[in-house]
Amino acid sequence: MTRIERDIDRLCLLDDPARRHAYLAVRQAAEPPTRAEVAQEVGISVELAAFPLEKLVEHAWLEATYDRPGGRPRAGRPPKRYRAAPVDLEVTIPPRRYDLVASILAAAVAEGANAPAADKVGEVARRRGAAVAAAARKRGRASGREPLALLAELGYEPREHGGRVVLRNCPFHLAAEDTPAVVCAMNAAFVRGVLDASPARTHAPVLDREPGRCCVVLEPHPAAGADRR
């Protein structure tokens, strides 16, 4: 299952009104509420509140705790309370990764006091691509079909045509439209980092801007052809 499929499935959990209202009641509460407090806020019985709350805990929208608010001591076992889990969820179709653009550019600004801005952005983007690929291999999620499988997970939607790989989606679409010279070069450097981190050097990224797809395409790596001969 891809990242966007997982995120959509997770969001669909809130399509149920009872779960959605219970989640918002917990998220907006000043302190982690009990089941009875959620039920009162939503306007349902305590028994009816149990199922959506536990379902939200099961799918990591909420966390259950027995902590007393403010650490106030009291005899007896404290009631179960619920608090919103740390969730950073955004679904865009087709997939976009503006968080990645922002983190690369921010790091480049921080590091680039004594270097040309464009050079520093490319350097940081390439390192970030290699780091993303290394993390994916460590998790065991990019083996076998890497690096194309990783590029697919990142939202590029790669499709191979006679050895050439077209990236049908640009995860940085709006940013690339506003500043193509900077973002497209950054994109190519990031993809190069992903590819360079793979033991199989099968492709190399090149800039080839065409409407309706990513500005980066993957051409067969010259070394790959030499290895096959």
The pLDDT tens digits of the residues spanning 47-84 come to 999 999 999 999 889 999 887 665 555 656 778 999 98
What's the pLDDT band for 168 if we cut at 50, 70, 90? Answer: confident
User: Does the pLDDT at position 113 exceed 60?
Assistant: no
Q: pLDDT tens digits, residue range 144-158?
A: 457 888 898 888 989
Q: pLDDT tens digits, residue range 15-47?
A: 899 999 999 999 888 789 999 999 999 999 999
User: Does the pLDDT at position 215 exceed 90?
Assistant: yes
| CA–CA distance, 81 with 64 (Å, rounded to integer) | 6
Of 94 and 114, the one with more pLDDT: 94
Enumerate the CATH 3.30.1380 domain ranges in the chain, comma separated.
98-228
pLDDT of residue 25: 93
| CA–CA distance, 146 with 132 (Å, rounded to integer) | 12
Q: At what angle do helices 17-28 and 46-58 cross, to 10 degrees?
A: 80
User: Are 185 and 118 spatial neighbours (Cβ–Cβ below 8 Å)?
Assistant: yes
pLDDT of residue 145: 53
pLDDT of residue 228: 42
What's the pLDDT band for 106 if we cut at 50, 70, 90? Answer: low
Enumerate the CATH 1.10.10.10 domain ranges in the chain, comma separated.
3-84
pLDDT of residue 70: 58
Pairing of strands 216-220, 164-167: antiparallel
Bond prior to 147 in cis (omega within 30° of 0): yes
Best CATH choice for the domain 3-84 from the list 1.10.540.10, 1.10.10.10, 1.10.645.10, 3.30.70.2970: 1.10.10.10
Query: What dotted CATH number matches 98-228?
Result: 3.30.1380
| CA–CA distance, 145 with 200 (Å, rounded to integer) | 10
Q: pLDDT tens digits, residue range 78-103?
A: 789 999 887 766 667 777 777 788 87
pLDDT of residue 227: 46
Strand partners, 83: 63
Q: What is the mean pLDDT of residues 134-163?
A: 79
For 218, the enclosing helix (H) or strand (E) is strand 216-220
What's the pLDDT band for 223 if we cut at 50, 70, 90? Answer: low
Q: Position of tokens 């952005």? A: 121
- pLDDT above 90: percentage of residues in the chain: 34
